[in-house]
Amino acid sequence: MTMSQQNTAKNTPKRLVVDRRGTVYTLTNKIGEGGQGVVCATNFPNVLIKINQHKDPKKRQQWEQHIHWLMRQDLIGLQIANPLELIVKPTTCSGYVMELMDGLDSLNLMLDRSHNSLINPESDESLAEYRATGGLRRRILILRELAKILSGLHGRGLAYGDLSPNNIFVSKSLENHQVWLIDCDNICVNERRGYGDTYTPGYAAPEIIRSESGVNIATDCWSFAVIAMQLLTHTHPFDSGIAVEDEDPEIAQEKAHRGELPWIYDQEDDSNAWAGEGLPLSDFTANSQITVLLDRCFGAGRLDAQERPSMMEWFAALDTASAVMLVCQNTNCTMSFFYNKSYKCPFCDHSQNQQHYLLLRHFVYLNQPEFQESHWLNCAETMILNINEPQLLRLEPIGSTYHYDSPQLCSLTLQENGLLIEPSMDSKIQLQQGTKLINISHKQHLSIDSRSNVKYALHLRSKDVNHDAFHPVWRFIW
C-alpha cells in the first residue's frame, strides 16, 4: 500500500474494532490513506490500526493470508511497525494492529516542507527550510538509519517491496534521527512477488514498471537511491531532467520510469541532464562515495539490477560520510557540510576557524608486520571533531560492519580550552608523541595552548582482547 500522510489529522467517525484476543480499539484519527487501505490512530498510545479496503472477498482473503505469514517472520530488532494482531470484528473488516513510537512524522512532510522553500522564487532564503529540517548532516543520518533497517531486512532474505517517503517515518525533533518503516504489507521473500502488484510511481524500479519482475532486494535498492537523491538534492534522478521537462510530462515520465531515459547526471548521455530545479549533486549535497553509488544505481543499474549497490554498501558510505561533517560557524548560515581542506562552507563561502575542528585519520598498528616494512597500515577512514560534540571511538572503525557492536574504548571532545580524552573502563589507551608513549587510564586534557602542529597518535586496545598482533590508532595534529 502507498499512504499519503496528511498535514493535519482528519477526524473520522468513532468506530470500534476488535482483535483476536478480544481487545477493543476505538479508531480516532485517520493518519494515512492509500489504494489498499487506511491507517488510523486509536485510543491506545502508540497503537495504530491498518484497515484493508479491498472489496473483493478473494483479494481480502489473500491479503489476510499474507499478513498471517508476515506475523511469523523474524523482524525482531528492525525498526518496522510489523503486524502484532489481526482484527476480527466487525467480520466485514480486515486489518491488523501495529505499534509506532511517539514523536514521528512522515518523511514526505519533511520533503514537502523543504522543497516548497527551494522552489519559491520570491524567497530571500530558499535554503531556510532545508536548514530547519536538519540540514545535510541530519539527512545523511536519516538515510544511514534507513539503509541499516533495509540491510537487516535483506540479510534475512526479505524485501520491503514498496519503499517511498510515505512509508518512512522520522523523528520530529531535529536532535534525533530515528527512522521507522510502516505499512509493511508488501514485505516478501526475495525474488518473489509480494502481496498484490502495488508500487509507488517514481520510486519503483524500471523492471517493475515493465512488468518484468516482482519486488525483490534489487528493487528496494533502486527505491532507496531515489529517496536518497530526493532527500539530499530535492531532485528526482529522472523526472528532474530536461528531456522530461521539454516533452509531454506524462509521456516523458512514463518513458523515464520504464528506464528508457538516462538519469540526470549520466556521464555518457546528457540528453536528460539536470534541468536546474532543486540543488545540484555536488559538494553541496554529496561526497564522492555517495555520488559513485548513485551513478552505479541509475547508470549501469538502470539496465542491469545486479549493478546496483547493496544496502550494506550504502550504510558504510553514509556512516563514513556522517563522520566527516562540519557545522558552519557563520551565525547566518549554520549549515552542515562535508570536510574540505580549505574548511570553507560551500553554502555561504565562510572560512571556518580551524581551531574549532580536529581531523583524525585511522590507522592499524601492526606489532610484527610480515608483508610490509612499516608498522603503520594506513586506512581510508577519517573523522572530524566539531567543537563541543563528543565522539566515541570503538574497536572497529566507523563505516565497518561491526562498528556499533564493538566495544567503546574512548571518548574525545574538542573544547574551547583543549582536547578532552576519556578512556572507558575496559580499554587500554596510549597517547603517542614521537617515540614517547603515555598510558591514559583516566581523563586526559591537551591544552589549547599546546596546539602547535605536533603529530599525535591515539592507540586503542580493549582489555578483552587476548592478543595484540594489531590494534586501531587514530592520528591527529595538535
Query: Residue 286 corresponds to which cell in the numbers above?
Result: 554529496
Hey, which of 44-48, 195-199, 214-218, 295-299 has the most confident mean pLDDT?
295-299
Q: What is the dihedral of CA 174, 178, 183, 188, to 10 degrees?
A: 140
Average pLDDT, integer, range 165-184: 91
| Rg of the chain (C-alpha set) | 25
Instruction: Show the domains of the chain with their CATH numbers.
Output: 10-99 (3.30.200.20), 104-235+278-322 (1.10.510.10), 353-477 (2.60.200)
pLDDT per residue as tens digits for the range 269-282: 999 999 999 999 99
Average pLDDT, integer, range 387-398: 93
pLDDT per residue as tens digits for the range 451-477: 999 999 999 998 877 667 889 999 999
Using alpha carbons, select from 241, 235, 331, 332 the residue that is nearest to residue 284: 235
Query: Residue 317 corresponds to which cell in the numbers above?
Result: 558510505
- pLDDT greater than 70 at residue 239: yes
pTM of the model: 0.90
Cell numbers 530545479: residue: 277
- pLDDT greater than 50 at residue 1: no
Q: How far apart are CA 115 and CA 133, in angstroms?
A: 11
Mean pLDDT of the chain: 90
The predicted structure's pLDDT at residue 269 = 96
Q: What is the dihedral of CA 307, 312, 318, 321, to 10 degrees?
A: -90
pLDDT per residue as tens digits for the range 47-63: 999 998 888 888 888 88
360, 474 contact by CB (below 8 A): yes
Q: Band of the pLDDT at 12, cuts 50, 70, 90?
A: very low
Q: How far apart are CA 346 and CA 349, in angstroms?
A: 5
pLDDT per residue as tens digits for the range 322-347: 999 999 999 999 999 999 999 999 99
Q: Band of the pLDDT at 368, cuts 50, 70, 90?
A: confident
Q: Which pairs with CB-CB distance under 8 Å and at least 24 residues apart come from 14-22?
A: 17/49, 17/51, 17/87, 17/89, 17/90, 17/93, 17/95, 18/87, 18/88, 18/89, 19/85, 19/86, 19/87, 19/88, 19/97, 20/85, 20/86, 20/88, 21/85
The predicted structure's pLDDT at residue 225 = 98
The predicted structure's pLDDT at residue 149 = 97
